[in-house]
Amino acid sequence: MIENYFKLKQFGTTMKTEVLAGFTTFLTMVYIIIVNPAILSAAGIPFNQVFMATIIAAVIGTLTMGLFAKYPIAVAPGMGLNAYFTTVVASQGLTYQAVLGTVFLAGLVIIVLSLTNLRKVLIEAIPAPLKFGITAGIGLFIAFLGLKMAGIVQPNDETMITLGNLTEPVTALAIGGLLLTLILMAKRVTGALFLGMIATAIAGFFLGLLQFDGFISMPPAPTLINITEAVSGVFSNGLYTVVFAFILVTIFDSTGTLVGVSEQGGFMKEGKLERTKPATLSDAFATTAGAAFGTSPSCAYIESSAGVAAGGRTGLTSVVVAALFLVSMFLSPAIAAIALLPAITAPILIIVGCFMMEGLAKIQWRNFDDAFPAFAIILTMPLTSSIATGIAVGFITYPIMKVVTGKWKEVHPLIYVFAVIFLIQMIYFPMH
């Protein structure tokens, strides 16, 4: 029954592969249930409330993606959006309830946009060079993230970034885990990414780097905010630009990830993606429900590319991820220990970054009006640590290049509209 529902044979996959892919994706993104509460608690939201809200949003979004869109893409509260949330609360002296109201309204607007054809048209309107650039840009972004997490590179005042201390225990463990996983990949061992993480975790435990203060604990009770009060706070404080910023960044973060991972997994057919509505509704439902329980907007997760690289091809991968998030409610001490040792997941992000470079071969590099916008995306995403900013730069430069070369008719009208919107947003409402 499960095999027929997800059409495993049609996609050349098995239940074992999908389950392994689900575990791989989950382990690369589970840090969010610890990191998100840590960030949002600085805005005044109780840690336990955000912990439960994060899991609820992830389960709702990822199950919607898995059961209805049937893609191996996970959804959870987004990094960057949570930091922006905290900044808004701190800089404008607002209550966190009012800012949760902006997230709730943004979620409702995104639901409406997803029910129309706008997001579907947007995905299909993105020209091929930008799609390939987005995929590669995300690849470099997550590889760079992996390098930073592992301590292989570190900040430097003079050169911005430099080589880290490779003799640091966590860094050395990450390098060892990376080499082992590379060997497993080269030998084409089934479940190489997952096995690499397990082996690194075991090594970390015996080296004293992975310490458990327990494994099981009862989850705190979820807490619903007062929606009416939160939404009225949006209007009384005139927080319309914050709502707009959340809508724009959530949509384009998710769209970028959806396009990038779909290109990687071969789900895009002639630039089109099937079952677009349920796929785009996933982050909308997660954002709205997440806000009601106490967390910032949700989006499709770039770490899903790790599950795709591990062989995940259907929604069964996402269902496994959602189930693991549910179980994580009861395993918070063990999850926290694993999430606090970046050496376990950093090697996977670095390797997956390599997989996502494949689309670069399809860019017509001799056509400068195609090449430069793609290059701009690839350059900007890792340097700004923002998928949305990379997409914005691509959307702005692509139509400019086409207009000045007399090829303006090749550009979909929607691209011109969003180029103007992104230009205004980057000048007047930048998200740092």
pTM of the model: 0.79
Closest CA to 431 of 143, 86, 31: 86
One-letter amino acid for residue 285 of the chain: F
Q: Which two tokens stand for residue 185?
A: 């990949």
The gap from C-alpha 121 to its chain's centroid, in whole angstroms, comes to 21
Question: Could you write out the DSSP letters of every residue in 159-192?
Answer: TEEEE--TTSHHHHHHHHHHHHHHHHHHTT-TTH
Give the Cα separation of 149 and 134 in Å (integer).
22
Q: Is 214 exposed, middle or buried (0-12, 13-18, 19+ CB in 10 A)?
A: exposed
Phi, psi for 423 (deg, rounded to 5): -65, -45
pLDDT tens sequence across 215-238: 888 888 999 999 999 999 999 988
Give the Cα separation of 263 and 128 in Å (integer).
10
Give me the tens of pLDDT residue by residue for the chain, a chain 432 residues long: 888 899 899 889 999 999 999 999 998 888 898 888 888 988 899 988 999 999 999 999 999 999 999 999 999 998 778 877 887 887 678 899 999 999 999 999 999 989 988 888 887 888 889 988 988 888 888 888 889 989 999 998 888 899 999 999 999 999 999 999 999 989 988 778 888 888 999 999 999 999 888 788 888 899 999 999 999 999 998 888 788 878 877 887 888 888 888 888 888 877 778 888 999 999 999 999 999 999 999 999 988 999 999 999 999 999 999 999 999 999 888 887 887 788 988 898 888 888 888 888 889 999 999 999 999 999 998 888 777 788 889 999 999 999 999 999 989 998 999 899 889 878 876 655
Partners of 162 in beta bridges = 154
> DSSP letter at 75?
E
In this structure, are strands 75-77 and 298-300 parallel, antiparallel, or unpaired? antiparallel
What is residue 211's predicted lDDT score, i.e. its pLDDT? 87
Q: Which two tokens stand for residue 148?
A: 């930073």
Helices (H), 189-275: 192-206, 227-236, 240-265
Closest CA to 25 of 312, 279, 282, 298: 312
Helix (H, G, I), strand (E, B) or coil at 154: strand
Contact 7, 274 (CB under 8 A): no
pLDDT tens sequence across 274-301: 888 999 999 999 999 999 999 999 999 9
Contact 378, 136 (CB under 8 A): yes
Contact 23, 311 (CB under 8 A): no
Phi, psi for 269 (deg, rounded to 5): -115, 110
Phi, psi for 364 (deg, rounded to 5): -80, 85
From residue 92, how far is each of 88, 137, 295 by CA, in Å?
A: 6, 33, 18
